[in-house]
């Protein structure tokens, strides 16, 4: 008899996006005449082609692998030096991060889940509400929570409400926690965190000997020069924060997968015997055992993002998606909805019209406007009353969504 991990049975519904996919699939099957004009603004998946510089680099790398003299087998588990050095030079100049602090992976979704491998039991873990569901579900899977209550909040997690009143950046808790997940620019609310707000969190983490897991997957979409792009711009973060970054959304890598975690040597946790242990050393050990590195051609593609041509092409992609966000914001505002986000992030977060829940809004948009959005409650109890529109789409589709929003709301 093989015992299963019973923690999986605590998980509420299916993972949010497959669940939305299932509902949309059922609707499309029942309404074949509408399927062709259905516009998906649910999951934040890129729509525009891979930048030319990336494609060329991948082609070249594949050709290298086709030649005995330049063929490569297993790569370094932590990632190739050429990519880690390019990241340091381009993303962390003057921030006291070295190539040795960077761990290349095949995605931030896996990274934010896998990181729990190196933390022990009994940590008090704080998540924002609403939240990227991966942080919560992976803690449930590993046994860091009890059961969920009626609103879907798991016993044992500390939920930090993010509301319009606090600009979707959580207040510092009055209790002590050990691990805090922060994501800025934020998924799902599209909010960004100021330097002062991040400084308060770093100060809290240092005072409480806590670790911040900082998800900066949407950093490339920041438009405002005052908004920090990295947690390491904040003094003291090198002692208490890990940063997750991704090529998915800026470089269009959702289908080809490449991301990284940054872990300075000075971030430590405590062993059962009270010894200070380097988080980086644990993650290096875990990586070399469970991972054989991201694919060589894809790492070459990621490196090309930092070439002159690649940088210009990424700016064009970001401008495209942020132009979409602006149109979506304007359309929602015009019809009298309260709109948040979409200024430093590719997500527009909208208060539902009076009397409609998040899932009512999902159904209304699907069946009347033939548009898929994401219900706010799918990101947590505090997301109830909101919906998220992803700006990842073609301009043509976004203009059509704006038209339909105006027609149906
Ligand atoms: C989202 O829509 O929230 C994102 O696409 C999820 C992800 O990046 O995994």
Q: What tens digit of pLDDT does each residue of 29-88 get?
A: 999 999 899 999 999 999 999 999 999 999 999 999 999 999 999 999 999 999 999 999
Is 35's C-beta closer than 6 angstroms to any atom of ligand 1? no
In a domain, 337, yes or no: yes
Domain with 35 in it: 13-48+310-408
Q: Taking 80 as the threshold, does the pLDDT of residue 13 lie above it?
A: no
Q: Is the CB of 44 under 6 A from ligand 1?
A: yes
**Within this chain, do residues 77 and 176 fall inside the same structural domain, yes or no?**
yes
Q: In terms of domains, do 21 and 126 share one?
A: no
- Tell me how many domains the chain contains: 2
Instruction: Kindly give the distance from the C-alpha atom of residue 316 to the centroid of ligand 1, in angstroms, as a whole number.
Output: 21
Long-range CB pairs of 36-39, under 8 A, 24+ apart, other chains included? 37/370, 38/370, 38/371, 38/372, 39/370, 39/371, 39/372, 39/393, 39/397, 39/400, 39/401, 39/404
Average pLDDT over residues 20-32: 92
Atom nearest to 17 CA in ligand 1: 2
Domain end (from 254, 276, 308): 308
* Gyration radius (Cα) of the chain, Å: 21
**119 in the same domain as 228:** yes
Please indicate, yes or no, whether residues 300 and 390 belong to a single structural domain of this protein: no
Q: Is 5 a member of any domain?
A: no
In a shared domain, residues 22 and 64: no
- Expressed in angstroms and rounded, the spacing between residue 85 Cα and the centre of ligand 1 is 27
Distance 188 CA to ligand 1 centre (A): 9
Closest CA to ligand 1's atom 9? 109
Gap from CA of 44 to ligand 1 centroid (Å): 5
SS3 229: coil
pLDDT tens, residue by residue, 274-322: 999 999 999 999 999 999 999 999 999 999 999 999 999 999 999 999 9
Q: Are 279 and 118 in contact (CB under 8 A)?
A: yes
**Last residue of one domain, picked from the residues 308, 333, 367:** 308
On whether both 122 and 132 belong to a single domain, the answer is: yes
Same domain for 145 and 113, yes or no, is yes
Question: Tell me, what's the pLDDT at 38?
Answer: 96
Q: How is residue 10 annotated by DSSP? A: G
Over residues 170-176, the mean pLDDT reads: 96
Tell me whether residue 237 is in a domain: yes
Residue 24 CA to residue 248 CA, distance in Å, equals: 24
Q: Residue 245 — pLDDT band, cuts 50, 70, 90?
A: very high
Closest protein CA for atom 5 of ligand 1: 44
Atom of ligand 1 nearest to the CA of 246: 8
Residues 299, 336 share a domain: no
21 C-alpha to center of ligand 1: Å? 13
162 with 264, same domain?
Answer: yes
Coil, helix or strand at residue 403 = helix
Q: Which of 308, 337, 357 is the last residue of a domain?
A: 308
- Burial of 66: CB neighbours in 10 Å, binned 0-12, 13-18, 19+: exposed
Residue 3 lies in a domain: no
Average pLDDT value for the chain: 97
Specify whether 84 is located in the same domain as 150. Answer: yes
- Compute CA distances 346 → 34, 44, 266, 293, 334, whole Å: 27, 8, 33, 29, 19
Could you identify the atom of ligand 1 that is nearest to the CA of residue 132? 3
**Does residue 7 belong to any structural domain of this protein?**
no
Mean of the pLDDT values across residues 177-192? 98
User: Which ligand 1 atom sits nearest the alpha carbon of residue 134?
Assistant: 9
Q: Which of 132, 133, 246 to mutate to test the pocket of ligand 1 (most atoms within 8 A of CB)?
A: 132
pLDDT score for 374 = 97
253-270 residue pLDDT tens: 999 999 999 999 999 999
pLDDT of 189 over the 80 cut: yes
pLDDT in tens, 210-221: 999 999 999 999
Q: What pLDDT is recorded for position 384? A: 95
CATH number for position 239: 3.40.640.10
- CB 297 near ligand 1, within 6 Å: no
Whether 145 and 283 share a structural domain: yes
Q: Is residue 104 part of a domain?
A: yes
Give the pLDDT confidence of 341-379 residue by residue, as tens digits.
999 999 999 999 999 999 999 999 999 999 999 999 999
Report yes or no on 36 lying in a domain. yes
Q: Ligand 1, residue 42: give the atom nearest the CA.
A: 2
Ligand 1 in contact with 246 (CB < 6 A)? Answer: no
Task: Indicate whether 41 and 59 sit together in one domain.
Answer: no
pLDDT for residue 15 is more than 80: no
Instruction: Evaluate: CB of 109 within 6 angstroms of ligand 1.
Output: yes
What's the CATH code of the domain at 35?
A: 3.90.1150.10
In a domain, 128, yes or no: yes
């Amino acid at each position: 008899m093989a015992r299963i991990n019973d923690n999986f049975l605590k998980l509420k519904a299916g993972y949010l996006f497959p669940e939305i996919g299932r509902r949309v699939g059922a609707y499309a099957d029942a309404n074949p005449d509408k399927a062709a004009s259905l516009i998906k603004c649910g999951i934040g998946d890129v729509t525009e082609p891979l930048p030319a510089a990336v494609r060329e680099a991948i082609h070249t790398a594949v050709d290298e692998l086709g030649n005995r003299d330049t063929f490569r087998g297993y790569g370094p588990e932590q990632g190739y030096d050429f990519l880690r050095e390019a990241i340091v030079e381009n993303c962390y100049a003057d921030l006291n991060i070295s190539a040795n602090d960077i761990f290349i992976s095949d995605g931030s979704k896996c990274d934010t889940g896998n990181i729990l491998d190196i933390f022990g039991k009994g940590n008090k873990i704080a998540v924002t509400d609403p939240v990227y569901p991966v942080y919560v579900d992976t803690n449930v899977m590993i046994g860091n929570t009890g059961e969920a209550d009626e609103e879907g909040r798991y016993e044992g997690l500390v939920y930090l409400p993010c509301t319009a009143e606090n600009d979707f950046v959580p207040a510092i808790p009055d209790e002590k926690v050990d691990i805090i997940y922060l994501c800025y620019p934020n998924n799902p609310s599209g909010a960004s965190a100021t330097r002062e707000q991040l400084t308060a969190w770093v100060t809290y983490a240092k005072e409480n000997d806590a670790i911040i897991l900082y998800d900066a997957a949407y950093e490339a979409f920041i438009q405002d020069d005052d908004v920090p792009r990295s947690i390491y711009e904040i003094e003291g973060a090198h002692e208490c924060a890990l940063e997750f970054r991704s090529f998915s959304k800026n470089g269009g890598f959702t289908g080809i997968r490449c991301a990284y975690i940054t872990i300075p040597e000075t971030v430590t946790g405590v062993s059962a015997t009270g010894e200070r242990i380097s988080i980086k050393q644990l993650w290096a050990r875990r990586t070399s055992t469970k991972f054989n590195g991201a694919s060589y051609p894809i790492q070459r593609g990621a490196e090309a993002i930092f070439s002159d041509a690649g940088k210009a092409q990424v700016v064009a992609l970001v401008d495209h998606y942020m132009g979409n966000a602006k149109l979506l914001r304007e359309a929602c505002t015009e019809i009298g909805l309260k709109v948040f986000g979409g200024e430093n992030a590719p997500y527009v977060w909208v208060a539902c019209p009076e009397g409609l829940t998040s899932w009512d809004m999902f159904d209304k948009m699907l069946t009347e406007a033939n548009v898929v959005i994401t219900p706010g409650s799918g990101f947590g109890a505090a997301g109830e009353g909101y919906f998220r529109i992803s700006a990842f789409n073609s301009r043509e589709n976004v203009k059509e969504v704006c038209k339909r929003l105006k027609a149906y709301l």
